């Protein structure tokens, strides 16, 4: 256990002096391996090769590119307007549109930040004009954006699959019902708040926005819904692999965006953003593979498993401790960094306790979601605040998101109490 502590301290020191996370993981991993036995460097090459050639990672640039194309076209704005029209009858109608549009856009973007930014850009001017409560407006958008890394396709789930050698297809399908559950809990909270206090979501009497019929609204929603159904049904029914579904999603996004003003400069921007994001992810995963090999070579995973087996503690308490650790880390680090830093030790521990790896993947992603809306480093908070920094304060976004943190913890407790919420659909694949 002392070795694990020293490794953790060395990593904290590396990050504290400003090393990029990929360099800290890879460089310190190499130092620890050389300190143990330089001959183990041969194993590093195999570890890096295995992680870099993992087929699951092919889906990352494809899903990112699909989300970039949809985000930069006007499809997302039209989609939000269509959702708002269909939910106009509910108390707090546009707030429900924030959640519903985020959930549905999440099913094609795979990114929390992209979901929050895209839906927030379309929603904030309209909600501000109609006099909606600012805290609930910003909180619903920040929390709705977290659905982007849970409802498939999900970039963190792909990374979890690569780090733990679990099925990315089963992870995607396992996240569907928990994602819908969380969407329903968010919507229920807004419904209760708007019913008890209608002033937080007033019905505008001088709205100059042209009203459209539900038929036209459905047509505005159809392109994105069609892509979502094709991608997810292909994976669920086994018609396509995850990579094939991602490639098909890109083709469909290009066809849809091509009718809505897709241009060569926009396509160049989408490609550049995809390359930057993918390169960052691959470098982090490569560094994590080296550090994980060092952890394994020093026998840390075996020591942790043996230590836990000697404890006369119910596994649920150990799981609770892991949840607390992730919750605290989420307040200070980004989601992907947390996953690659912890999975080498946490995953073997959890599977040793008998928990299902697919179920745990969904649990981890929900915990990472919570970190996205908890200060001081909640990335979704900064994303929403950056949409209009002169009129939106970070404090407003953080306080507005606080109730949704509680709601996400409630959803997590449901998932722990009833694991079949995540495991039922994969069992039917």
Residue 100: which of 180, 202, 14 has the closest Cα? 180
Q: What interhelical angle do 379-386 and 394-417 show, nearest 10?
A: 140
Lowest mean pLDDT among 85-94, 168-177, 207-216, 298-307: 207-216
32-44 residue pLDDT tens: 888 888 888 888 8
- What share of the chain in percent tops pLDDT 90? 19
Q: What is the pTM of this model?
A: 0.82
**Residues 226-285 pLDDT 10s:** 888 888 888 888 888 888 988 998 999 888 887 666 788 888 988 998 898 888 888 888
- State yes or no: cis peptide before 153, omega within 30 of 0: yes
- The residue to which tokens 């209760």 are assigned: 192
| Whole-number pLDDT of residue 308 | 66
Question: Does residue 160 have a pLDDT over 50?
Answer: yes
Q: What is the chain's length? A: 429
* pLDDT score at 329: 83
Q: Which residues of 22-53 are buried (b: 16+ CB within 10 A; e: fewer)?
A: bebbbbbbbebbeeeeeebeebbeebbeebee
Q: How far is CA 201 from the centre of its chain?
A: 28
Domains of the chain: total? 1
Look at 341 and 402; give whichever has higher pLDDT.
Answer: 402
Q: How far is CA 200 from the centre of its chain?
A: 28
- Burial status of residue 137 (CB atoms within 10 A of its CB: 0-12, 13-18, 19 or more): buried
CA 397 to chain centre: 19
pLDDT at 208: 42
Residue 207 above 50 pLDDT? no
Closest CA to 370 of 146, 177, 103: 146
Contact between 160 and 365 under an 8 Å Cβ cutoff? The reply is yes
388: DSSP letter: S
What b-and-e string marks burial along 106-133, b requiring 16 or more CB atoms within 10 Å of the CB? bbbbbbbbbbbbbbbbbbbebbeebebb
Handedness of CA 191, 135, 102, 178 (dihedral sign): negative
User: Does the pLDDT at position 429 exceed 60?
Assistant: yes
Q: Is 118 helix (H, G, I), strand (E, B) or coil?
A: helix
Confidence class for position 309, pLDDT limits 50, 70, 90: low
- What integer best gives the mean pLDDT of the chain? 84
**Helices 335-352, 155-164: crossing angle, 10 deg rounding:** 40
pLDDT attached to residue 206: 44
- Give the pLDDT confidence of 359-388 residue by residue, as tens digits: 999 999 999 999 889 887 788 888 888 887
> What is the rounded CA–CA span in Å between residue 315 and residue 124?
44
Range of the domain at 247: 2-427
């Amino acid at each position: 256990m002392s070795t694990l502590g020293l490794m953790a301290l060395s990593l904290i020191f590396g990050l504290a002096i400003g090393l990029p996370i990929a360099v800290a993981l890879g460089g310190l991993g190499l130092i620890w391996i050389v300190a143990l036995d330089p001959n183990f460097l041969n194993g590093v090459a195999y570890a890096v090769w295995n992680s870099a050639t993992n087929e699951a990672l092919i889906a990352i640039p494809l899903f990112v590119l699909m989300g970039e194309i949809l985000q930069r076209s006007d499809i997302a704005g039209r989609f939000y307007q269509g959702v708002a029209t269909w939910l106009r009858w509910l108390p707090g109608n546009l707030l429900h549109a924030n959640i519903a549009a985020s959930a549905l856009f999440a099913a094609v973007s795979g990114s929390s930040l992209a979901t929050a930014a895209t839906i927030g850009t379309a929603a904030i001017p309209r909600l501000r004009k109609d006099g909606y409560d600012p805290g609930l407006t910003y909180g619903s958008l920040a929390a709705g954006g977290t659905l982007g890394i849970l409802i498939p396709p999900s970039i963190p789930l792909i990374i979890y699959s690569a780090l733990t050698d679990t099925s990315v297809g089963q992870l995607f399908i396992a996240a569907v019902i928990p994602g819908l559950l969380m969407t329903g809990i968010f919507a229920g909270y807004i419904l209760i708040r708007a019913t008890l206090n209608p002033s937080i979501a007033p019905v505008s009497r001088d709205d100059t926005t042209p009203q459209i019929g539900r038929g036209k609204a459905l047509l505005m929603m159809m392109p994105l819904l069609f892509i979502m159904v094709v991608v997810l049904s292909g994976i669920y029914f086994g018609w396509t692999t995850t990579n094939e579904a991602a490639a098909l999603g890109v083709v469909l996004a290009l066809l849809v965006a091509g009718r809505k003003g897709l241009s060569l400069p926009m396509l160049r921007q989408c490609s550049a953003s995809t390359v930057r994001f993918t390169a960052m992810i691959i470098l982090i995963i490569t560094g994590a593979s080296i550090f994980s090999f060092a952890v394994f070579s020093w026998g840390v995973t075996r020591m942790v498993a043996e230590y836990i087996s000697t404890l006369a503690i119910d596994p649920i308490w150990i799981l609770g401790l892991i949840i607390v650790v992730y919750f605290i880390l989420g307040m200070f680090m980004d989601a992907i960094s947390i996953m690659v830093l912890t999975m080498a030790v946490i995953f073997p521990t959890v599977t040793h306790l008998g928990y299902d790896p697919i179920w745990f993947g969904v649990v981890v992603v929900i915990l990472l979601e919570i970190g996205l809306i908890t200060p001081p480093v909640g990335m979704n908070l900064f994303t929403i605040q950056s949409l209009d920094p002169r009129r939106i304060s970070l404090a407003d976004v953080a306080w507005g998101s606080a109730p949704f943190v509680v709601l996400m913890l409630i959803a997590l407790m449901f998932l722990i109490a009833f694991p079949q919420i995540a495991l039922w659909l994969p069992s039917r694949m």
